[in-house]
Amino acid sequence: MASAELDRALSGVTRILLDSSTLIAFHSPHEDVHHLAHHLLTRIEDSTDRLTGYFSAVSAMELLVRPIKAGGPALTFMHAFLNSFPNLTILPVDLGVAIQAATLRAITAVKSPDALIVASGLLANCEAIIFNDETWGKSIQPHFRQFKWLYLKTYK
């Protein structure tokens, strides 16, 4: 079972950074990795599970674009998710994150939004990054071996 393989990969990990694509997959049942994103968020929500989740303010911005355009219930729903999902914490973008992201960009030439997301996780002491963007594994992962990098499509 795919979720069991993902759980094995997360063995011993308590702090995970969810990138924007993972959170989008959670909210998009048509995504081929939706079931894995849903499994992760179910574990994060469970107060008896030691797994806690983090996401960057950059990811929050990316998640809010469509609901703001749609307005009404979609915006209310996303706002509630971002503000109150249990054991899921938003990480601010402050000067420390900006400095770390600038360093990441200087080393890897990764795009600014991605650098800010990874820098947030680094400074929040996340142990693993869950992503669903293939380019992350190629462009960023080699520079940050302190994280477990888990590409969701690997587990589908």
Q: Which residues contact 39 (CB under 8 A, 6 or more apart)?
A: 3, 6
Q: What are the residue ranges spanned by the domains of the chain?
A: 2-155
Q: Which helix (H) or strand (E) holds 40?
A: helix 34-45
Rg, Å, the chain Cα set: 15
Q: Which of the four CATH numbers 3.40.630.30, 3.40.50.1980, 3.40.50.1010, 3.30.870.10 does domain 2-155 have?
A: 3.40.50.1010
Q: What pLDDT, in 10s, does the model give residues 72-83?
A: 999 999 999 999
pLDDT of residue 38: 97
As a whole number of angstroms, the distance between CA 101 and CA 75 comes to 29
* Model confidence at 1: pLDDT above 70: no
Sheet holding 128-131: strands in order across? 88-91, 52-56, 15-18, 128-131, 148-151
* Model confidence at 153: pLDDT above 90: yes
pLDDT of residue 138: 72
Q: What pLDDT, in 10s, does the model give residues 90-125?
A: 999 999 999 999 998 998 878 999 999 999 999 999
As a whole number of angstroms, the distance between CA 6 and CA 36 comes to 8
Mean pLDDT of 15-34: 96
Q: Which residues contact 8 (CB under 8 A, 6 or more apart)?
A: none
88 with 114: CB under 8 angstroms?
Answer: no
User: pLDDT confidence of 152, banded at 50, 70, 90?
Assistant: very high
* Whole-structure pTM value: 0.93
pLDDT of residue 137: 67
